[in-house]
Amino acid sequence: MMVKIFDVSMRIEEGMPVYKNKPEKQPNIRVVQDFDTAPARESRIDIDVHTGTHVDSPLHMLPEGGTMETLPLERLVRPCRVLDLTGVDGGITQADLEKFEIRSGEFLLLKTKNSFKDEFDFEFVYLAEDGARYLAEKKIDGVGIDALGIERSQPGHPTHKTLFRADILIIEGLRLKEVPEGNYFMVAAPIKLVHTEAAPARVILLQGIGE
């Protein structure tokens, strides 16, 4: 059985794309000990928990929401489906999603034009409020997108809140350029942080499992 591995995570490095290009969101990586003064090399990193590919917990938008340790890993290591939405500009709406025959319990990854841009785009494709309501009505289990935010320019953050209130998990910052539309087995492993509203994650997709 041939299993193909797609690493759909962003590289974490200084100068990487960060939300709205804010300097304070850049990771700071420095060597604190090197071979000129010690027998081993060690580095230290200062990083925002929403850096690169990451998983949000409900506390990100809901004061009563749960933190990262409330998200069962079983919901992030599971089958998923990549939807090709590369023809969409602006917000992904219910009309854009209806053609995919979405089923209850699915984990969906939204592949858009975002995956073909290496720099932060202030006009990135996002999930519109009515698209989020549609996914909530369909009772999906989770959704990921290839943008550093699942929404933009929506006062009150209705997309996040609609998804969280429907107990839908959110992954942001995916890189899906090389991934064809279809079914995969996903391993999305957020750093094991506690008491936070997000955590960086290494996300891989496996094609060929069970075939």
Which residues are CB-neighbours of 18 under 8 A, at least 6 positions away? 25, 26, 48, 51, 120, 148
Q: From residue 139, how far is each of 128, 151, 164, 169, 180 by CA, in Å?
A: 17, 19, 12, 11, 24
Query: In the block, which residue shows the tokens 């299993």?
Result: 3
60 among known catalytic residues: yes
Catalytic annotation, pick one of 50, 60, 157, 160: 60
CA dist 45 and 176 (Å) reads 26
Q: Which residues are catalytic?
A: 60
